[in-house]
Amino acid sequence: MPKSFFSLLILSLFVILFVLTVDLAYARTFNNDFETGDLTDWEKTGDAFDFQPTYGDNPTARNRNQPSQHQGDWWLGLFEKYQGPDKGAELGQTPGATQGDTPTGTLTSIAFKLIGEKMNFLIGGGYHPWEIDANPCCVNLVIDEEVVKTATGTMVDNGNESMTRQEWDISEFKGKMAKIVVVDQHSGGWGHPNFDDVHQANASGENIPWDQVLAVEARGKLAVSWAQMKKYY
């Protein structure tokens, strides 16, 4: 066959690979609600997150009378130590098991672009604010290593296991890259945060799909490696 045919074939294969890879990048999403059952897309420090995410309404299973009000099956409950009917059973865990308030650490998300007007999420646990407590339990929005927004559990009775939905106005930061950091640095009473189901929302209050958020950065770019693609597809 002519050499030109092989050159054209190679070029065609490269174009197909490029298009497929960009399409895969577009499909990339974010473990915003921990429904993978693990900490995919998040990096931990310390030991507070060793048994996270937790599965089901563990506070109710231990008769706490403060239902977690989580979304889906999985959520971050830093007092809890039950990882579900499969993994939990293998580790000898039972519904209602706890690790207590002693462990500390942080959990940091992948970086993403802020394209919404608001950010909303479920949060509960102890009241130990970032700004006023030397050992905070909170969730922070971080841009360029600076905390620009922070939230914590209710101040009533110093905390509550039941999560409620809170919201940040992020409109002034649109276009910037950010990370979410869950902080557990308190080892005393109510020394844990609860967290789940984070979203960006548009001006109408509608949640923006995370694959759309991440596609902003993926547009026109090849995925870094096949190993990274296999992680999500």
Question: What pLDDT score was predicted for residue 136?
Answer: 98
* pLDDT tens for each residue of 184-202: 999 999 999 999 999 999 9
Does the pLDDT of residue 215 top 90, yes or no? no
4 and 104 part of one domain: no
84 and 190 part of one domain: yes
118 and 54 part of one domain: yes
59 and 140 part of one domain: yes
**Number of separate domains in the chain:** 2
Two tokens at 181?
A: 């950091």
pTM for this predicted structure: 0.83
* pLDDT tens for each residue of 132-152: 999 999 999 999 999 999 999
Residue 135's CATH number: 2.60.120.260
16 and 47 part of one domain: no
14 and 97 part of one domain: no
Two tokens at 190?
A: 């109510």
Does the pLDDT of residue 168 top 60, yes or no? yes
Domain with 2 in it = 1-29+210-233
121 and 214 part of one domain: no
Sign of dihedral through CA atoms 216, 219, 225, 230? positive
Does the pLDDT of residue 12 top 90, yes or no? no
